Chains A and B, each alone.
Chain A
Amino acid sequence: MSLFFRAPLEIDIRFDSEESRKYVDVKTTQGRLEKLPIYKDGETVKGNVTIRTKDGRKVDHFGVKVQLLGVIETNSDGLQVSEFLSLATELAAPSQISRPETYPFEFKNVEKQYESYRGKNARLRYYVKVVVSRKSASEITREKEMWVYHDTSEAEGNGTSSLVANKDKPKSTVKMDVGIEDCLHIEFEYLKSRFSLKDVIVGRIYFLLVRLKIKHMELLLIRRETVGAPPNAITDSETLVRFEIMDGAPVKGETIPIRLFLGGFDLTPTYRDVNKKFSTRTYLSLVLIDEDARRYFKQSEIILYR
């Protein structure tokens, strides 16, 4: 920023119809919320760039260009950036700027292959970058980020998870029988394993044998982000949702209902091997906590899609 203030030019990027566009709140790495405009795959990115000089000075430049970039930044082994999309247009030939100038730009029907993503060790960003090249000093740049959602994604993967045990119907219902011998035996059942982000997880847990002194039971939604190729892959897990579904100890024969609305949480659809750089998956974890604070859990992946 300090660099920017010292720069003699002020660059302002504006997208068309910014007021009517939908925005998304995204957390920055500093933890603040940032409002970003939403674009879809194949949508035209169009706008204006305004360049002003400061204090009425005259600035010479070697040309102004605008770029639309799509990059994946990974942090597996030092920051690595790889571009998967790069479009550029020349806005102005080398000249002198003495008063504010506005240049329109347009990238028509841009294919945006991936959705934007900000994770712990991986980020997928789309942004417009304006570069003013100068003879003497370094170039002056200005970036403006946008957020890309795909409309509906029939998504990667077809809805099953290798971690799901004793699966009855590959189609939708997930039913599991888990237990610790002579201690606990439960059966749980979700109506499906693929959920839209606005969906509701509905299911039930049936206690067949309870010898543990259970204090409560929770449902966790865990996002697991994997960066890099298998030998050097870095995996980071983050618990997004902690949802208590039972208080106290049930007895044999009890059925506990599960209902978890997903719509209100900041979830990420399941991404697999995005540009061979990273993946995000979401796991549903059922955790039983006993009176001695021991935790017993069972995880299974669920497929999320937008």
Chain B
Amino acid sequence: MTTAPAPPPDRRSRRERRCDHPDHGVERDGLDPRGRSRRRLLVGAGAAGLALGTGLGGVRVSFAAQPSGGTLVVVFLRGGMDGLSALVPAGDPHLAAARPDIAVPQSAALPLDRTWGLHPALSSLHELWRQGRFTAVPAVSTPDISRSHFQAQDYLERGGSATGASSGWLNRALEAAGPGTPLQALTVGKSTARSLVGARATTSLRALDALTLRIGDDARRERAVRALEALHAGVDHPLAADAAAALESLGAARLAAALAPEPGADYPDDDPGPQLRDVARLVKADVGLRVACVDVGGWDTHVGQGGVDGGTMADRLGALDRALGAFVADLGPAGDAVTVVVMTEFGRRVAQNANRGTDHGHGAAVLLVGGGLAGGRVHGAWHGLAPDVLDDGDVPGWNDYRDLLAELVTTRLGVPAGALGDVFPGHRPQPLGVTA
């Protein structure tokens, strides 16, 4: 399709744009005194935006102000990331024995402590480790998780098994954290992450730069925005919330469009580089973003996953590493309030298969990046890779995902301890101590 001219970018400085705001002295999460986010006023270059707060029946929008708490970014590696290649128990002789072709040798691993090293492709994370902005937890799982991709992802995204909860754990965490703005939770991807599905309306977008309503004439675009809102007014259907979120996102995209990455923030083109770049822009644009979900596919390395010299695993880890490093550099001091958790549905078998890959396993490695972390050590329980320790050839789930995630939503989203039972029903979380 050909493209109509995009509306001109707002070339004013961020400070100047804030003067659009009736209460520009207040910087509280981008909310005005009624709690409406600033971008709401910028959709359709002002006048049309004023209409947006009205008339959208059925949309769960809360206008109450909220305490500042920061942003939790959940990067989900789809397919089962091989934790033993990322967070490497480098000195464990059982690793080399089980993986003669693909183990990361101790000599090549970037050292963390006496037990652990990182895949050499994770050099940015190694630097962040030195700064106290990276840590990790090995052998993470949750009871009953299976080796089915769907089932394992579904359990995790609903908040662990045996809960009986159908909504996503992040959606429940948002409910427990209190009111928020329409853009408080976002999936940077083609559709909403399962963990964000539930009663609280959330949305997704693929790329901020693609988010433009392509109507060349300004006045006509403003009329169209008003009409789109009115066409969904009083409609008791999720489509109404979808339209509201789309209009909100258009405003956020306008704000974010002018924000270039900071010098030194060199995002890779591969996932999750573009997605984390957009998350950083939304954090910097101050649109009230509390939770962002990013999916990265391609971790189901049954065949030819490669070792330290290259291959699928090294490529994927390298892109992940560069993206996370750029994200931290891009946010600068604002990153103190942003924590990234990198999770996956399961780890992979300890032993390599005959295709120089690994099959579905169990305990996974979780990587944590950003502010608010208790750095300097790898957290959680670990008992090595001796065959009698393993669970049917897999790393067991020594550490429970729910303990880790509960700690993060408590510190990062301000979920009260008493509400954790709503987020993770049937589980009494015991913090692993990953947050400072």
Q: Do A and B originate from a single complex?
A: no
Residues of B within 8 A of A (CB): none
